[in-house]
Amino acid sequence: MRIVRMILVIVSAISLGIFGISEIIQAAGRDRTVPEITSTMDVLEIPCDYTEEQLLEGVSASDAKDGDLTSQIIPGAFSRFIEKGLCNVTYVVFDSSNQPASLTRQVRFTDYHSPRFTLTEPLVFIQQEGSYSDAMARLGAQDMLDGDLSGWITQTDTDVNYQQPGSYTMTVEVSNSFGDTSTAALPVHVVSADQQRAEISLVSSIVYVSVGGTIDPASYVSGATDTMGNEISTDQVSASSNVDTQTPGCYEIHYELYDDAGSSIGQTWLTVIVEE
């Protein structure tokens, strides 16, 4: 029995010795250096349509053991906006021992503007033919960073009665992943069928103008046709505008088509959003 115990003690001692030697060898070969990322600028300025090369401009990485690691830097996700067009981005790099380093710096998108609404056709409906679904189907939104946001539009308020001719308003909003929200009180018009015996076609159904800019109502008329599809001269289309390009807001230009007798036979509206 004593012999068995002695053998167990000897085996345990040998095992501990082997384990200790193994730990010493691993410690001697362990990478005790960590990589570092540096930047030549605190704020990087890039366009919204940036490339990865532009996003990596001014950053470099190195490690005492591995040397230059700049080509292995990985840009991470953007943060929400600190202010419009300005956010943080974090860069990460790993050395050959899989040890990480990170750096966060600010990024400013030089040509950024808030999400903008789009319309496939004017928000003009014949009495009893329009609906909430019809209006929303014409509405879209585009963002310079996230792209199509049409599925994220919500209607926050409305007084539209599609059964009764009149001028109404539907308020909509949309937000991008950076936390920037756009809101617009869009005019909606419901007209009787006898007021729409001809169609005025527009180049666009909604346009954005910067404060202090100019807008030419006639330039947005692309054509006019009667109920049979016959072309009508656009010279018979008149335009009246309430657009104030000095004040941000949502406006519209009213277009009306007259026959040879001077009677109104068709009308439409162009939505104009003046933004800062």
Beta strands in the chain (DSSP E): 36-39, 43-46, 59-63, 67-68, 74-78, 86-94, 100-109, 116-119, 124-126, 139-143, 147-148, 154-158, 166-175, 181-191, 198-202, 206-210, 221-226, 237-241, 249-258, 264-275
Q: Is the same domain home to 84 and 145? A: no
Domain count, the chain: 2
Average pLDDT over every residue of 66-86 = 96
Query: Residue 76 sits in a domain of what CATH number?
Result: 2.60.40.10
Q: How confident is the model at residue 12 (pLDDT cuts 50, 70, 90)?
A: low
Q: Is the same domain home to 141 and 269? A: yes
Q: Is the same domain home to 92 and 146? A: no
In the predicted structure, residue 26 carries a pLDDT above the cut 70: no
For the segment 228-261, what is each residue's pLDDT rounded down to a tens digit?
A: 888 988 888 999 999 999 999 999 999 999 887 8
Q: How confident is the model at residue 3 (pLDDT cuts 50, 70, 90)?
A: low
Domain final position from 89, 109, 129 = 109
pTM: 0.83
Residue 174 belongs to a domain: yes
For the segment 213-227, what is each residue's pLDDT rounded down to a tens digit?
A: 999 999 999 999 987
Three-state DSSP state, 258: strand
The parent domain of residue 54 ranges over 36-109
For the segment 129-166, what is each residue's pLDDT rounded down to a tens digit?
A: 999 999 999 999 999 999 999 999 999 999 999 999 99
